[in-house]
């Protein structure tokens, strides 16, 4: 996770503002170990779609392979909120549609 945060912070047009502590949550989906989670708050000039592309590239750089929905994964970077924007495209929904189901430990 630290490497992914460093990669995000090193991205042009992205400034890391704050980060949470790492916390553990139970998985959703097939049986698998608990997950370690964290959240970051960033400032960016990127569009939501461009930021999502950056997040997916970072996942790929760290070996993310998508095999099964909600299945085990090495890294999962989600875009939860983007200012006050509401967006629904085939590839991105804002706010994140299942954000209310998550145990979130906010950055501030």
Query: So which residues are the catalytic ones?
Result: 64, 73, 76, 78
Which tokens sit at 73? 């994964």
Q: What is the CA radius of gyration of the chain?
A: 14
HSE-CB for 28 with a 13 A CA cutoff: 8
69: closest CA among 32, 40, 44, 14? Answer: 32
What is the residue-wise DSSP string for 42-63?
A: EEESS-HHHHHHHHHHHHHHTT
């Amino acid at each position: 996770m630290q490497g992914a945060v460093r990669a995000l912070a090193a991205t042009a047009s992205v400034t890391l503002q704050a980060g949470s502590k790492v916390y553990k949550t139970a998985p959703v989906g097939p049986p698998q170990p608990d997950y370690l989670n964290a959240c970051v708050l960033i400032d960016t000039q990127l569009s939501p779609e461009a930021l999502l592309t950056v997040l997916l590239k970072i996942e790929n750089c760290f070996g993310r392979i998508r095999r099964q929905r909600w299945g085990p994964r090495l890294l999962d970077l989600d875009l939860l909120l983007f200012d006050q924007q509401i967006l629904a495209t085939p590839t991105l929904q804002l706010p994140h549609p299942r954000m209310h189901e998550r145990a979130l430990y906010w950055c501030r």
